[in-house]
Amino acid sequence: MPNMKQLHPIMFAGTGSDVGKSILAAAFCRIFRQDGYHPAPFKAQNMALNSYATPEGLEIGRAQAVQAEAAGIPCHTDMNPLLLKPQSDHTSQVVLNGRPIGNRDAYGYWKKDNLELRSEVCHAFDRLAQRFNPIVMEGAGSIAEINLKEHDLVNLPMARHAKADVVLVGDIDRGGVFASVYGSIMLQSPEDRKLIKGIIVNKFRGDMHLFDEGRRLLEDICGVPVLGVIPFFKDIHIEEEDSMALGEKLHVRSRDAGKVNIAVVMLQHLSNYTDFDALEQDPRIHLFYTNNVDDIRQADIIILPGTKSTLHDLYELRRNGCAQAIIQAYRAGATVLGICGGYQMMGMEVLDPMHVESEIERLPGLGLLPTTTTMSAEKITRQVTARANFPISGDSPEQMRGYEIHMGETLPMGNAPAQPLVTFGDGRTDGYFLDHHCMGTYVHGILDNSCFVDFLLQPFADKLRRENASFDYATFKEQQYDQLADHVRRHVDMDKIYEILTKQ
């Protein structure tokens, strides 16, 4: 066990996207916590549609919220001061220190706002470094995008500011690991090359001894030690935010006998798909993503998820036939649940008089709920606690937790009665509960609460095997963080890493 001395910040930078930087950062947040340190994650700039609300009601990337959870601390905007939420191929909503500051095109973002944003992310790191030890940093994409280096806020320029030791992560599973690692190092300036203190080869498949010679060759050509070769794994489940992870989920088959089959409607602008991670691990449930109308009609439960563009995705649901399939499935006995943008779509209409999302001022909804939604420019972000307004098992309703991130207000339409799904701890209400088979909510993370999932599954109890009981997702996640830490410890040289992080 190392002494509890001050450690240098450590940055996991990558040879490309999806090489495993986020997962490794989460692993080391848990490892340092297990070893008695007080770590915190940091990523200067993140681009993702999956986000999370901090306890202060501000918005950060979901990956840093997961890493904070692995570190055993509440998440904070200083952990991800700059979040870009893509709205098209060319524009993104810019969230700075947890609050949206407007939309930017790529040129405006990279060229005009760079100096101001660089100052903001550096200040955020400095504040975090005063409170935690060590800071576990994550880079973005590839460190070798030399055409963008002048404006890079998140990779080696950030490591220079933080005086961080950089560990370069390469993905051997995709091939070309020697070229990608060597090229990434050689394309750096001599000053930045000195920051790279080690290499981790990630996602190795097969006999580890077969790479012994490869490890030696990599160290020889790069002049940097290989700190670990980490085997590929599929049996450890950590929430991911990358769109590539979502793409892998699309290959799951659409039905499974003996389980409740849940279809998440695959929207073009689907966001916060980590809402469904708990369901994916629940042994009673078979969850799949689809926009196939036959799959939707055959599902037991259909979930309309969150979206970054409610009006566009609502229009597309009508165009591709999914809207009609959802309505038909509900009439045939399926349950339909809408979350956030999906909840908005389930109503009678969605209005956008101020053109917050598009030039379309009104679209009819699916007509499943007697509600109307008006889009607004104000974004609501907050963590919430709630109690159910629907019948759940047990003598006393269990308190649920989640978070809101949305733009727009949904109200009962005309003379329709208010039938909220939940009541928040401050007395506000949320959502609409039409019946046991039709409901909507703005609360992300509601499916992490076992009492709500049990309620959803009640109408399909005859399909469940007797041994399948309630699933405790919070306990499951803690076990997964520990398993991830154990896996990484076994395959990296922790003594060498601590030596690097304490060397004067």
Enumerate residues 6+ apart whose C-beta is below 8 A from 377.
Answer: 354, 356, 407
Domain ranges within the chain, ordered by starting residue: 10-237+479-499, 259-464
What is d(CA 470, CA 493) in angstroms, rounded to the nearest whole number? 39
Same CATH fold, 259-464 and 10-237+479-499?
Answer: yes
CA dist 398 → 161, 283, 337, 438, 449 (Å): 46, 22, 20, 21, 9
Q: Which amino acid makes up residue 204?
A: F
The alpha carbon of residue 478 and the mean position of all alpha carbons in its chain are separated, in whole angstroms, by 17
What are the φ/ψ torsions at residue 95 (nearest 5 degrees)? -110, 115
The catalytic residue among 38, 340, 355, 406 is 340
For the packed helices 473-491 and 21-34, what is the interaxial angle rounded to 10 degrees?
A: 90
Q: Consecutive 10-residue runs of the chain (504 residues): their mean pLDDT?
A: 79 95 97 97 91 94 96 98 83 90 70 79 97 97 88 93 98 94 96 96 92 94 96 89 57 73 94 92 93 94 95 95 96 97 97 88 96 93 92 68 94 95 95 96 96 93 70 92 97 97 92
Enumerate residues 6+ apart whose C-beta is below 8 A from 327.
Answer: 366, 367, 368
Could you check whether the bond before residue 134 is cis, i.e. omega within 30 degrees of 0?
A: yes
What is d(CA 311, CA 357) in angstroms, rounded to the nearest whole number? 7
Give the pair of three-digit tokens for residue 467: 């041994």
Give the pair of three-digit tokens for residue 395: 């003598």
**Using CB atoms within 10 A of its CB, is residue 370 exposed (0-12), middle (13-18) or buried (19+)?**
middle
Check residue 60 and give its pLDDT.
95
What is d(CA 237, CA 124) in angstroms, rounded to the nearest whole number? 30
CB environment 26-51: b (16+ within 10 A), e (fewer)? bbbbbbbbebebebbbbbbbbbbbbb
What is d(CA 192, CA 223) in angstroms, rounded to the nearest whole number? 14
Check residue 252 and give its pLDDT.
63
What is d(CA 237, CA 53) in angstroms, rounded to the nearest whole number? 22
Check residue 398 and give its pLDDT.
72
Give the pair of three-digit tokens for residue 290: 């689809």
Question: What is this structure's pTM?
Answer: 0.86
Check residue 107 and give its pLDDT.
59
Answer yes or no: 75 catalytic.
no
Read out DSSP for 410-442?
EEE-TTPPP--SEEETTS-EESEEEETTEEEES
The catalytic residue among 8, 269, 406, 444 is 444
CA atoms within 13 A on the CB side of 384: 26
Q: Which residues pair with 102 in a beta bridge?
A: 94
Pick from 134, 140, 217: nearest CA to 172: 217
What is the fold of 259-464?
Rossmann fold (3.40.50)
Strands 335-339 and 306-307: unpaired
What is d(CA 240, CA 67) in angstroms, rounded to the nearest whole number? 11
3-state secondary structure of 444: strand
Answer yes or no: 444 catalytic.
yes
Sign of torsion, CA 177 178 184 185?
positive
10-237+479-499 placed in CATH 3.30.365.10: no
What are the φ/ψ torsions at residue 42 (nearest 5 degrees)? -155, 130
What is d(CA 287, CA 290) in angstroms, rounded to the nearest whole number? 10
